C-alpha cells in the first residue's frame, strides 16, 4: 500500500493539480491525503483530475474561511471503505484493503497550530482510537508538532515548546503508535525565506500495521509548490518465492562437480506437474551441493586469504632495483 500525504497550502488549479496527478501516477499511489486545501467545495471533476483516473472515491472536509480543508481520495477496487468520520482536523476511514484482505484504519490529519487546538484534536482522536476494535492503524499528515528539538532548526527552544513536545509524545504513546523509518529530507516544512525548518509531516502506525507490512518506510520528497514536502508511505510485503542458491565459477573447474550435478538430477524424479517437479529437484540439488561444497571446497576461503596475505607481504619487500635499496645505492656509486 502506497499513501501520499501532502500539505498543498491551497489546492487551486492547473499546475498544482498536474503536480499531484504526476505524483499519484509516478509512485503508484493507492490513497491520497491532502491537507490545507483551502477549498470550501469539492466535486467529482476535481478529484478525478487529481487522481488521474475516472474511478475514484473521496471524502473531504471543507475549509473554514479559506483556512484548512482536507481531501481523502482512493480507489474502491482496492480499498473498500465501510466507515467514515470527518472532523475539521482529520478524516478517518476504516475498511478492507482488498489486495491483502486486511482491515485497516487510515487517518488524514491537519492538526491545529495552537496548543489548545492541538489538545482538543488529540483528545478527539484518542477517543476514536479507544472505541475502535481495529489493530491496524495508520496516521498520516501534518501534525504541526515535533517530537524532539532536533526536528526543528532556526527557532528558540523555549520551555513551552519543550512542554508541547512532551505532551505530543505522551499522546503518541497513549495511542500506541510510533514513527516508521524515514528517508530523504530531514525537514518537511521550510519557511519561504529558509530561516526556519521543522519536521511537521509524518507517518505513525500501530504494531498491527507493522506486523502486516514490516518493511513500511516514509519517504520525504522534494518541495515544489508548497512550503511542505510531499511524503509517501510505502508498505509492501513481497513474496519473492523460493530462495536461490549460489554456484561459484571455481566449482566449474572441478571435474567432480558436473558429475555430482548430473547424478543428483537424474537420481531424483518427484511426481507431479512440471513446476512442482522443477522446484523440488532444485531444492534437492541445493542441499546436495551444499554438502559437496563443505566436503571438497571448504579450504577455498583459506586459500584466498593466504593469497591475499602473500600479496600484501610483497608490498613490504624492497626489490634490488629500487633506488632506495642498499644494492641500488652501491650500483649507482
pLDDT score for 327: 44
Residue 331 has pLDDT above 50, yes or no: no
CB 210 within 8 A of CB 117: no
* Cβ contacts of 40-44, under 8 Å, gap ≥ 24: 40/66, 40/69, 42/71
CB 104 within 8 A of CB 138: yes
Q: Whole-angstrom Cα distance, residue 188 to residue 151?
A: 10
Lowest mean pLDDT among 86-90, 160-164, 183-187: 160-164
pTM higher than 0.75: no
pLDDT score for 65: 83
Per DSSP bridges, beta strands 70-74 and 57-61 are: antiparallel
For residue range 92-145, list pLDDT tens digits in order.
Answer: 999 999 999 999 999 999 999 999 999 999 999 999 999 999 999 999 999 999
The vertex-52 CA angle with 49 and 54, nearest 5°, equals: 80
Give the residue with greater pLDDT, 225 vs 179.
179
Residue 311 has pLDDT above 60, yes or no: yes
Confidence at 265, pLDDT banded by 50, 70, 90:
confident
Confidence at 329, pLDDT banded by 50, 70, 90:
very low
C-alpha cell at 301: 576461503
Q: What is the percentage of the chain residues whose pLDDT exceeds 90? A: 53
Q: Where are the domains of the chain?
A: 2-234, 249-314
The single-letter DSSP state of residue 228 is: B
Burial class (CB in 10 A: 0-12, 13-18, 19+), 142: buried
Q: Whole-angstrom Cα distance, residue 228 to residue 144?
A: 11
pLDDT score for 292: 83
Confidence at 157, pLDDT banded by 50, 70, 90:
low
Mean pLDDT of 4-26: 91
pLDDT score for 240: 46
Q: Whole-angstrom Cα distance, residue 257 to residue 251?
A: 6
Lowest mean pLDDT among 175-179, 205-209, 269-273: 269-273
Place of cell 507490512: 213
Place of cell 491551497: 10
Q: Whole-angstrom Cα distance, residue 150 to residue 145?
A: 12
For residue range 194-247, list pLDDT tens digits in order.
Answer: 788 999 999 999 999 999 998 899 999 988 889 999 999 998 755 445 556 667
Mean pLDDT of 293-308: 68
For residue range 49-77, list pLDDT tens digits in order.
Answer: 999 988 899 999 999 887 899 999 999 88
CATH of domain 2-234: 3.60.10.10
Residue 90 φ then ψ, to 5°? -160, 155
Computed over every residue of the chain, the mean pLDDT equals 85
Amino acid at each position: 500500500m502506497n499513501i501520499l500525504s501532502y500539505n498543498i497550502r491551497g489546492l487551486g488549479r492547473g499546475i498544482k493539480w498536474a503536480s499531484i496527478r504526476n505524483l499519484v501516477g509516478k509512485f503508484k499511489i493507492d490513497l491520497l491525503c491532502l491537507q490545507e486545501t483551502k477549498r470550501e467545495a469539492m466535486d467529482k471533476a476535481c478529484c478525478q483530475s487529481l487522481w488521474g483516473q475516472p474511478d475514484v472515491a473521496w471524502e473531504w472536509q471543507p475549509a473554514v474561511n479559506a483556512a484548512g480543508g482536507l481531501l481523502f481520495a482512493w480507489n474502491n477496487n482496492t480499498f473498500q471503505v465501510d466507515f467514515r468520520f470527518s472532523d475539521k482536523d482529520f478524516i478517518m476511514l476504516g475498511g478492507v484493503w482488498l489486495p491483502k484482505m486486511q482491515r485497516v484504519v487510515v487517518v488524514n490529519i491537519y492538526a491545529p497550530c495552537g496548543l489548545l487546538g492541538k489538545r482538543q484534536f488529540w483528545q478527539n482522536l484518542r477517543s476514536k482510537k479507544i472505541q475502535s476494535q481495529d489493530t491496524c492503524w495508520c496516521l498520516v499528515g501534518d501534525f504541526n508538532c515535533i517530537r524532539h528539538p532536533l526536528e526543528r532548526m532556526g527557532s528558540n527552544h523555549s520551555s513551552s515548546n519543550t512542554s508541547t513536545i512532551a505532551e505530543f509524545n505522551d499522546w503518541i504513546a497513549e495511542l500506541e503508535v510510533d514513527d516508521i523509518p524515514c528517508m530523504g529530507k530531514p525537514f518537511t516544512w521550510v519557511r519561504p525565506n529558509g530561516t526556519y525548518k521543522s519536521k511537521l509531516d509524518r507517518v505513525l502506525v500501530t504494531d498491527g500495521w507493522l506486523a502486516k507490512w514490516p518493511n513500511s518506510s516514509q519517504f520525504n520528497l522534494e518541495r515544489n509548490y508548497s512550503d511542505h514536502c510531499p511524503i509517501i508511505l510505502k508498505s509492501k510485503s513481497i513474496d519473492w518465492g523460493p530462495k536461490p542458491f549460489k554456484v561459484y565459477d571455481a566449482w566449474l573447474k572441478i571435474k567432480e562437480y558436473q558429475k555430482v550435478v548430473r547424478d543428483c538430477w537424474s537420481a531424483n524424479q518427484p511426481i507431479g506437474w512440471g513446476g512442482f517437479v522443477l522446484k523440488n529437484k532444485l531444492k534437492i540439488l541445493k542441499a546436495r551441493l551444499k554438502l559437496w561444497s563443505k566436503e571438497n571446497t571448504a579450504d577455498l576461503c583459506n586459500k584466498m586469504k593466504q593469497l591475499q596475505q602473500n600479496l600484501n607481504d610483497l608490498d613490504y619487500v624492497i626489490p634490488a632495483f629500487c633506488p632506495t635499496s642498499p644494492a641500488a645505492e652501491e650500483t649507482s656509486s
